[in-house]
Amino acid sequence: ALDRAIAEQGPADPAAILAATDRALRSMLRVDQRAKGTATSMDIGLIHVDLRRRQACFAGARIDLLIAHPEGPQRLAGGRRALADRTPGEYHNQVIALDPRATYLMSTDGLLDQNGVQPGLSFGRSRLQELLQAHCAAGMPDLRDFAVLLDRELTDFRGAAELRDDLCVLAFGVDECQTATPSPAPPS
C-alpha cells in the first residue's frame, strides 16, 4: 500500500502518501468490520528532503520529527491518528528549511514508551529531545556517537526491564556542501 501510494503521489508530498496509504489499508483490512481490540494500525513518519531547495517536507501519523539545533529544540508533531486507525486521520505537510547545524530525528513509540527501573516512568519524548539537543550542543559529533549515547542511555534507563516493543530510530543531518547552491556549469 505504501509503495503504491508513493508511486501514485510522488515522493515530495508525504501527507498525500499517508492519506493514500490509509485509504488502501482501510480497504484491505476492512477497518470498519474488524473486532474491537484488534490492532492493525501503523504509526509512520515520512520526510522528503530536497537538497536543491534546502528544505524538507514532513508528515507523520503518530510519529513526530524532533529537531535539535544551536538555537534550541523544535518538534514537528505528526497527525494524532495512525494509519488504519478506527477513526480516519488527517495528515498535513510541514515544510522546514534544512539547517546544516541541525540534527533531525524520528522514532517509533517502542523507544518512547519503554519502561525503566522506576515503575510507571517511560523513556519519553522529552528525554529523547534532551539527548538529541545535548548531542547538537556538543558540536555535532558523528551521528554514530549519538547512536552509542542513545543505546547507553536506554540501557541504563531500562535496568533489568526487558524491551517491550520494537525500536526504530532514524536520525540524520546535512552538511554545508549538501545544502549549497550548485555552481552553474561552465560555458562550453
Q: Which range is least confidently modeled, 4-18, 72-86, 126-140, 173-187?
A: 173-187
Helices (H), 63-188: 109-112, 125-137, 143-158, 176-179
Residue 13 near residue 93, CB atoms below 8 Å: yes
Cα–chain center distance at 35: 29
For residues 1-23, give the mean pLDDT. Answer: 96
State residue 96's pLDDT score: 97
Reported as a single tens digit per residue, the pLDDT across 69-93 is: 888 899 999 999 999 988 889 999 9
Residue 32: the pLDDT is 67
Q: What are the CA-CA distances from residue 119 to residues 69, 144, 150 (Å)?
A: 32, 30, 21
Of residues 76 and 41, which shows the higher confidence score? 76
Q: Residue 98 has what DSSP assignment?
A: -
Average pLDDT over residues 101-106: 92
By CB atoms closer than 10 A (0-12, 13-18, 19+), residue 21 is buried
Distance CA 113, CA 44 (A): 16
Across-strand partners of 1? none
Q: Hey, how many other C-beta atoms are within 10 angstroms of the C-beta on 90?
A: 12
- Among 36-45, 72-81, 107-116, 127-136, the least confident range: 36-45
Q: Higher model confidence: residue 120 or residue 130?
A: 130
Q: Which three cell numbers stand for residue 57?
A: 517536507
The structure's pTM equals 0.85
Lowest mean pLDDT among 31-40, 41-50, 99-108, 178-187: 178-187
Instruction: Please state which of the ranges 96-100, 114-118, 174-178 shows the lowest mean pLDDT.
Output: 174-178
Q: In what order do the strands lie in the sheet with 55-61?
A: 44-50, 55-61, 94-97
Confidence of residue 28 (pLDDT cuts 50, 70, 90): confident
- Confidence at residue 107, expressed as pLDDT on a 0 to 100 scale: 92
